[in-house]
Structure 1
Amino acid sequence: MSSAMLAPIRTNPQYLLLGMTFVMSMVFAVWQALLNNFVIEKAAFTGAEIGILQSLREVPGFLAFTAVFVLSLIKEQAFALLALATLCIGVAITGFFPDVIGLYLTTILMSVGFHYFETINQSLTLQWVDKLNAPAFMGKALAWRSAAALLGYGSIWLFMTWMHLDYVWMYAIIGCSGLLMVIMMWSYFPRFAQGQSQHKHLLLRKRYWLYYLLTFFSGARRQIFMVFAGFMMVEKFGYSVSEITALFLINYVINLLFAPAIGRFIGRVGERRALIIEYVGLFVVFSCYAFVENAHVAGALYVIDHLLFAMAIAMKTYFQKIADEKDIASTMSVSFTINHIAAVVIPIILGLLWLNSPKAVFLIGAGFAICSLLLACNVPSKPSAGNETLWPRNS
């Protein structure tokens, strides 16, 4: 392609957002898809150890509020790329440390990059994409995530199933590939303007209280999906690496096909209805997880669960509509910490509960979904600054 044809890509920050999203999803998807089989086969993990590992993984998310202080030293765009590089390095070296302590340490390194990147990426998205087009763009970004994950899962099939390479090489190949892409993006894209100067200090605004609570319960129930739904597939139903990868492939093919439509759907029906649909669906799925005894039914629930999380776009666009633009970076940092308050504690506590009653773990997840549903009912049909909630009304 000529430089004239590439110019619209190079000068549009949305393509940088999509490129970074692609790399993050490809690298993280491989790490996640291999994790349960890797820790069980190589380190003999039980529910207790996987719970501790996942809690450690969430500690950097809990500390995401520190991102706002880093922004006083480095621009958001550069920070996002550095965080993404850290994620890639953490994944690349995971296979070289197949023991409990090594897995804990490489997970923390990977997680620092992942959570800082997600914090800054959300901030840049809300700044660089206008409110009218935000739901559609976020749906498109989810499709890019899905395409990247499919590439990652395809690489698992190529290198591990067909070429019979060990975990160590799979992690190294995908991590180094992602790092190379980050270096290319750093060199190719210019430094984009960020519009309104962002606050460089922590802030909590009373009028954002509903967004904070939605974020908290989102973090709580997401951990049950991220940690225990996948672990159940391996421990209870005996899913192999190939079967887990196939399940993830189905997830991401469906998201690739439907995520853009979900984004447009949220733009049409509004955040209130979209969130209510999500939380009703999650309540049903978590309740079914508690009693499922068939491996195929469990896999179907996992796919539905994953698709419903695409509706979380509505929570981000709700905040975009009620927020002061200068608050975005600081609030994204604080909201990531709020999201991970429960996430740091829940995997350890529920990991111990899992040893005696996996059913209770998923029933607790259903309870979290109900809490989120009640909160979603307080979202106005047309949220805006000054119209953040149905009750209590701002004076």
Structure 2
Amino acid sequence: MKKTFITRIFTSKEALLYIMTISMVVSFSAWTSLLNNFTIEVASFDGSQIGILQSLREIPGFLAFTVLLVLAFIAQQRLVYLSIMLLGLGTASTGYFPTAIGLYITTIIMSVGFHYLETLNQSLSLQWIDKNKAPIVLGKLSAAKSFTGLLVFILIYLFMNYLAMEYKYVYLIFGGFTFLLGIFSWYLFTHFKETVIQDKKIRVKKEYWLFYLLTFLSGARRQIFVVFAGFLLVEKFGVDIHNMILLLFVNSILNMYLAPKIGKFIVAFGEKVTLKIEYIGLILVFTSYAFVDNVYFAFALYIIDHLLFSMAIALKTYFQKIANPSDISSASAVSFTINHIAAVFLPAFLGMVWLYSNSLVFIIGAVIAFCSFSLSFLVPNEPQMGYETTLKKERK
């Protein structure tokens, strides 16, 4: 019997990956794009409080390995749907609790859903997508993420600029949409059987040490961008919510165009070259953040910074090539925990540093990026299982 277009969608693993990506972006883009202005204008946060909030947000990421414990009782797909709904619930309730304690609680709820969903998304992407076309598909998923983010930013701009909508209603709309998307996906998508039985035990394998270390440093760098780059624009340059949304709008447009090309670049030149370019770019961007005094130059840095993170696809495909297929679920969860080790304490610590010197925060980011660049020389030109780093002999 010939499948209809709708039937093909709800029986497609790739389609579900797109749904997972879209659901993450709808809520998280709304949450992050409004956060700096919401915390300053409504909740009256200072640098220390925003640092604490961001540290709390990353605790569920640090505990991402608990996904494996939950998977002992529930299938991966069902946990995906529950995570989508939890993400939506936390986002929808954010605007109704504009106090430090209220925001800390809603942030944790949102973050549990987001980090479980992100962990499962990475795991299932690497399980379901063929290695040869993984960079290209991941690039397309990144472009879809940007397109969805673009729509979110347009709607937020319209809601707040023309309808003068309050923050709480904007959070409710996007969080509610994500929650409903989780419910509909649960009932409409077919259940996919595992082609490779995944190891559900928590294991840290020595073969993946370079991947783990690069992931740790990536998490540390990412916190500086996520927490303090936008905060710099609002606090130092007085950028309002409308201009922040426009800036994110430009980021999305550029990423939609460049992400698929980055995927093709990885296929053509390999993970090692791509990672080196990313890390060199981040060193220059963070150093520039430390001394920027012109708002338009700060805008340019923010855009370049955002685009460089699209190149992180290379770290995922590097892992896919060196990993035993049965390790992907377990190693993805462990790597997410490793990614968030620094995230638990770094924002709060750097929040205190920020009160002394915001330039020093970005200098620390440049040092971390330099460490990543140094380690990238250990990534093989053609990584594979058994040849995870250049310190090992290549398998013939």
Q: TM-score, normalising length from structure 2? A: 0.98
**1:3: how far off?**
6.2
1:214-253 equivalences in 2 (<5 Å): 214-253=214-253
**1:359: how far off?**
0.4
Conserved in 1, the CA contact under 8 Å of 2:387 and 2:393? yes
RMSD of equivalent CA atoms: 1.2
Which residue matches 2:355? Answer: 355
Q: Distance in 2 between matches of 1:9 and 1:96?
A: 36
Q: Distance in 1 between matches of 2:121 and 2:194?
A: 12
1:62-211 equivalences in 2 (<5 Å): 62-211=62-211
**1:200: how far off?**
1.3
Deviations 1:166-219 (Å, cap 9, x if unpaired)?
Answer: 001000011111112222222221001221111111011111000000000000
The residue identity in structure 2 corresponding to 1:335 is S
Which residue matches 1:281? Answer: 281
1:239-318 equivalences in 2 (<5 Å): 239-318=239-318
Question: Which range moved further: 5-14 or 357-366?
Answer: 5-14
The residue identity in structure 2 corresponding to 1:305 is D
Conserved in 1, the CA contact under 8 Å of 2:26 and 2:175? no
Conserved in 1, the CA contact under 8 Å of 2:139 and 2:262? yes
Conserved in 1, the CA contact under 8 Å of 2:290 and 2:360? yes
**Structure 1 counterpart SS, 2:95:** helix
Q: Distance in 1 between matches of 2:246 and 2:122?
A: 29
**Structure 2 counterpart SS, 1:242:** helix
The residue identity in structure 1 corresponding to 2:85 is A
**1:159: how far off?**
1.4
Q: Distance in 1 between matches of 2:381 and 2:247?
A: 36
**1:320: how far off?**
0.4
In structure 2, runs of 5+ residues without a counterpart are: none
Q: Distance in 2 between matches of 1:122 and 1:194?
A: 15
**1:48: how far off?**
0.3
**1:6: how far off?**
2.5
Q: Distance in 2 between matches of 1:65 and 1:371?
A: 25
Conserved in 1, the CA contact under 8 Å of 2:65 and 2:333? yes
Deviations 1:65-108 (Å, cap 9, x if unpaired)?
Answer: 11111111111111111111100100000000001100010001
The residue identity in structure 2 corresponding to 1:210 is L
**1:236: how far off?**
0.3
Q: How many corresponding residue pairs?
A: 394
Deviations 1:86-139 (Å, cap 9, x if unpaired)?
Answer: 001000000000011000100011000000100111000000001001100100
Q: Indicate whether 1:321 and 2:299 are aligned.
A: no
Deviations 1:250-276 (Å, cap 9, x if unpaired)?
Answer: 111100111111111111110000000
The residue identity in structure 1 corresponding to 2:161 is T
**1:243: how far off?**
0.5
The residue identity in structure 1 corresponding to 2:30 is V
Conserved in 1, the CA contact under 8 Å of 2:20 and 2:117? no
**1:9: how far off?**
2.0
In structure 1, runs of 5+ residues without a counterpart are: none
**Structure 2 counterpart SS, 1:355:** helix
Q: Distance in 1 between matches of 2:370 and 2:117?
A: 30
Q: Distance in 1 between matches of 2:293 and 2:194?
A: 51
**Structure 2 counterpart SS, 1:45:** coil
Q: Distance in 2 between matches of 1:287 and 1:391?
A: 31
Conserved in 2, the CA contact under 8 Å of 1:128 and 1:194? no
Identity fraction in percent:
52
Compared CA separation, residues 151 and 195, structure 1 to 2 (3 A): same
Q: TM-score, normalising length from structure 1? A: 0.98
Deviations 1:259-308 (Å, cap 9, x if unpaired)?
Answer: 11111111111000000000000000000000000111001000000000
Q: Distance in 1 between matches of 2:16 and 2:168?
A: 30
The residue identity in structure 2 corresponding to 1:259 is A
Q: Distance in 1 between matches of 2:256 and 2:134?
A: 18
Which residue matches 2:370? Answer: 370
Q: Distance in 2 between matches of 1:343 and 1:98?
A: 23
**1:392: how far off?**
4.5
Which residue matches 2:6? Answer: 6
The residue identity in structure 1 corresponding to 2:276 is I
The residue identity in structure 1 corresponding to 2:277 is I
**1:23: how far off?**
1.5
Q: Distance in 2 between matches of 1:106 and 1:134?
A: 35
**1:374: how far off?**
0.9
